[in-house]
Amino acid sequence: MIPPGSVPIKDYAIETPLKKSALSAEGDTLPEIRIDLKAKFGISAIHFVLKDEETGDWYKNKSRDFVVSLVDYIRADSDTSIIEPKRGFDFWPGNLGQISKIFSKSKADENESSESRVPERESNQPDGFYEEVYVTKKVLISNSVTVSTKKCFESGAVKDILYVETDLPGDVVLHWGVCRNDTKRWEVPRSPYPPGTVPFKERALRTPLWPSPDGKGSSAQITLEEEFSGFVFVLKQNKDTWFKYLGNDFYVPLSSPIKLLNSSSKDDLSEGVQIEKPSQENSFFAFTDTVAYEMRNLVSDNSSDKNQKKKSKKVQQSIFEEIERLAAEAYNIFRSSIPSFSKPTTAKPEATNVEPETTIVVPEASVESEALSLEPKICSGTGTGHEILCQGFNWESNVSGRWYMKLKEIASELASIGFTVVWLPPPTESVSPEGYMPKDLYNLNSRYGNIDELKDLVKRFHEVGIKVLGDAVLNHRCAHYQNKNGVWNIFGGCLDWDDRAVVSDDPHFQGRGNTSSGDSFHAAPNIDHSQEFVRKDLKEWLCWLRKEIGYDGWRLDFVRGFWGGYVKDYIEASEPYFAVGEYWDSLSYRNDETDYNQDAHRQRIVDWINATKGTSGAFDVTTKGILHAALEKCEYWRLSDENGNPPGVIGWWPSRAVTFIENHDTGSTQGHWRFPSGKEMIGYAYILTHPGTPSIFYDHIFSRYKTEIASLISLRRRNGIHCRSTVQISKAERDVYAAIIDEKVAMKIGPGHFEPPSGSLKWSLAIEGKHYEIWEAS
């Protein structure tokens, strides 16, 4: 049945070139293929995908295979041992973006209901039909979108003037709005608007761009009040082409250049510069005196080629590694220097049919290599980059009432395994025994033990060289008293807040504060962090915990509930060694299947980290979800994104990604999102060899996996793998994923085969388990 010219792909697929032999209605020659099925094989379905050999693009049906089912279109012949098709199967001619298929069926099926059925002919002859499935073809063109901003004094007030210009051909419409904070929620500003502007679905404005006098491109000018913090937009060209930035809205912060410089993330400037791969995509802020952009993530930086040629790769790598380690100090160097501007670089926004390139301007910073020490130092909230985190509890740890004492007994064992940081459960008095419904924040007698036992435990961990994170629940708090309406929103204890401390947009608790800056947690009053007295009290509480208990940092619960900028305030006040936030929301799904592209999901996590100005990391929920999909269905191709990088937060901002496969919510006795059973060690083989900061769940440490986990931790530490290690993905196929990390460690997971490449490095197998292998270079 295999057509001529086909090539087998391992043992599960065939690659067949399409021949241009069919003619369309317009007389064009179109590619086609004919597959003649053999009756004796009883084929029930055909799966296929298409590849454009000229561009290397793959075409799928909504990120999945095209599937042609033949189950309803075969019949049993007189010989009941043979099930055969009634007729051959053809691909009808169609354009590049059209896949046509033909089915036949028998009269015997006419009484069965199906949405895809077509009436049968009275003669009982097979009747055919075809379906056209459209796929999108992306092409790269050298067009640009620029937004210039400036402040002006007009009508007695300071206003923002924006000038939007593009050289895209044809009719271009700007869909735009404004936002007030980093949540980027669209709002419609007050008039006046540019000529021709009309409302669009009550949450945006639609403005046609006017053609330039020279006929090349189009533009529009917009005037805004100074009350807004950002300008958001997308572009529409002609009838059916939309331009976004990697699936997200374009966003331009409406801040002065000095304010933008002072508030940008400390690490964005260093993580956005790639030494060995100048064209590799990553994230950074861009700004100039009159042009301000925030094109986050996946920006191709080609501007520093000339500078890179002037210095050796080794010297440059040392410089920027030090900048990363000295984030705050290096940022001050950048801020105090006078930027000299490089040639424009290009960022690739994503469109439905066309991908243009957007011009932005990036400042260069001059750093003398002699002035930089290579001694590792610590920045508040980010640690050294070599942390290995142990979650030191599960959902049932409160039951015994002596959990602190139990952990004290095993502290030295955790240190011997290789853990450098331990995350403890919430310490405060709580309505729920697990600690996540806090009441009196200064009462540290909990179901896990009393305050003295907690102090002894922290002291013991410090003695064995382990840092300690406290679980800080800042989003919500349970009240002590009811108001006059019988609603529990009046607090007692040391922090005796009234209902002004509760957000006003949660109807369950009738708060008199401002509206929430995040999502609601409906089981308890959500705290209004915009109130100055609330922030002051929480800062003092965190500093008290640092001094009184000896906590070294924080795990921050449910950070989706309040703006990351408040987290920045709390971290700057308490100066933790390490901090990580729980930003957990749903991945992208389609037809109950996990989408291949999870950029929108990881972008939301990165946006939150960015709102903290990089002072806190976040759990890499994206990586966990993709590992679920890859391991459950043996789809290891998911572990490489469209740019050949890891598809989670570790592929965009690894120094702020805390990777994990299980915790007290997803696993334990709750099991809200349990990792695929029996494949836990495959997950650990991935996160313990990759960048990011790995977190290991207590239940897995003290289980049959203990020895394997200890071996992986030992290998990670022995080879100096850290949160910023480099990953070179060697394979990402159906049954195998393989990568080389820092040119020191090679790994593979999945049942498929992989051997590290032979060459200057000699590889020796160090660890082998079920469906995973790890090699070390020598």
When pLDDT is cut at 50, 70 and 90, the band that residue 140 belongs to is low
Q: What pLDDT is recorded for position 543?
A: 97
Compute the average pLDDT of residues 307-313.
Answer: 46
Compute the average pLDDT of residues 748-761.
Answer: 93
Q: What pLDDT is recorded for position 262?
A: 37
User: What DSSP letter does each residue of 554-573 carry, written as one string?
Assistant: EEES-GGGS-HHHHHHHHHH
Q: What pLDDT is recorded for position 759?
A: 83
Which of 158-172, 313-327, 484-498 shows the highest mean pLDDT?
484-498
Q: What pLDDT is recorded for position 385?
A: 94
Is 327's pLDDT higher than 60? no
Compute the average pLDDT of residues 759-763.
Answer: 88
Q: What pLDDT is recorded for position 388?
A: 98
When pLDDT is cut at 50, 70 and 90, the band that residue 208 belongs to is very high
Is 80's pLDDT higher than 60? no
Least confident of 1-5, 211-215, 344-348, 430-434: 344-348
pLDDT tens track for 509-540: 999 999 999 999 989 999 999 999 999 999 99
Is 297's pLDDT higher than 70? no
Q: E-assigned strands of 527-616?
A: 553-556, 578-581, 589-590, 593-594
The yes-or-no answer on residue 557 being catalytic is yes
From residue 96, alpha-carbon distances to 59, 70, 134, 352, 643 in Å are 10, 24, 9, 16, 24
Exposed/middle/buried for residue 726 (C-beta within 10 Å: 0-12, 13-18, 19+): middle
Residues 495-526 as b/e (b if ≥16 CB within 10 A, e otherwise) read bebebebbbbebeebbbebeebbbebbeebbb
When pLDDT is cut at 50, 70 and 90, the band that residue 641 belongs to is very high
Peptide bond into 691 cis (omega under 30): no
Length of the chain, in residues: 778
Q: What is the C-alpha separation between 225 and 674, in angstroms, rounded? A: 48
More confident residue, 354 or 646: 646
pLDDT tens track for 378-437: 556 889 999 999 999 999 999 999 999 999 999 999 999 999 999 999 999 999 999 999
Q: Retrieve residue 177's tokens.
A: 């709005």
The yes-or-no answer on residue 528 being catalytic is no
Q: What is the C-alpha separation between 162 and 144, in angstroms, rounded? A: 16
When pLDDT is cut at 50, 70 and 90, the band that residue 133 belongs to is low
% of the chain with per-residue pLDDT over 70 = 72
Least confident of 340-354, 467-481, 529-543, 618-632: 340-354
Our CA dihedral for 613, 617, 620, 622, rounded to 10 degrees, sits at -10
Q: What is the C-alpha separation between 64 and 629, in angstroms, rounded? A: 13
Exposed/middle/buried for residue 777 (C-beta within 10 Å: 0-12, 13-18, 19+): middle
When pLDDT is cut at 50, 70 and 90, the band that residue 764 belongs to is very high
User: What DSSP letter does each residue of 86-144 carry, written as one string?
Assistant: SS-EEPPP--TTEEEEEE---GGGTTS--TT--PPPTT-----EEEEEE----EE----
Residue type, position 182, single letter: D
Mean pLDDT of the chain: 78
Q: What is the C-alpha separation between 211 and 190, in angstroms, rounded? A: 25
Contact 2, 41 (CB under 8 A): no
Q: What pLDDT is recorded for position 49?
A: 87
Q: What pLDDT is recorded for position 396?
A: 96
Nearest CA among 314, 261, 305, 306 for reference residue 284: 261
Q: What is the C-alpha separation between 629 and 646, in angstroms, rounded? A: 14
Considering the entire predicted model, what is its pTM? 0.58
Q: What is the C-alpha separation between 264 and 580, in angstroms, rounded? A: 19
Q: What is the C-alpha separation between 415 and 545, in angstroms, rounded? A: 23
Apex CA 350: angle with CA 147 and CA 741, to 5°?
Answer: 110
Q: What pLDDT is recorded for position 212?
A: 82
Q: What pLDDT is recorded for position 319?
A: 54
Q: What pLDDT is recorded for position 736?
A: 97
Is 583's pLDDT higher than 60? yes
Q: What pLDDT is recorded for position 1?
A: 82
Compute the average pLDDT of residues 688-697.
Answer: 98
DSSP state, 190?
Answer: P
Least confident of 129-138, 609-618, 764-773: 129-138
- Give me the catalytic one of 582, 662, 680, 776: 582
Q: What is the C-alpha separation between 250 and 349, in angstroms, rounded? A: 9
List CB contacts of 99: < 8 A, sequence separation 6 or more.
50, 61, 66, 91, 132, 133, 135
When pLDDT is cut at 50, 70 and 90, the band that residue 226 belongs to is confident
More confident residue, 368 or 736: 736
More confident residue, 421 or 57: 421
pLDDT tens track for 142-191: 788 889 888 887 767 788 889 999 988 888 999 999 988 777 788 899 88
- Give me the catalytic one of 557, 620, 662, 708: 557
Is 617's pLDDT higher than 90? yes
Is 361's pLDDT higher than 70? no
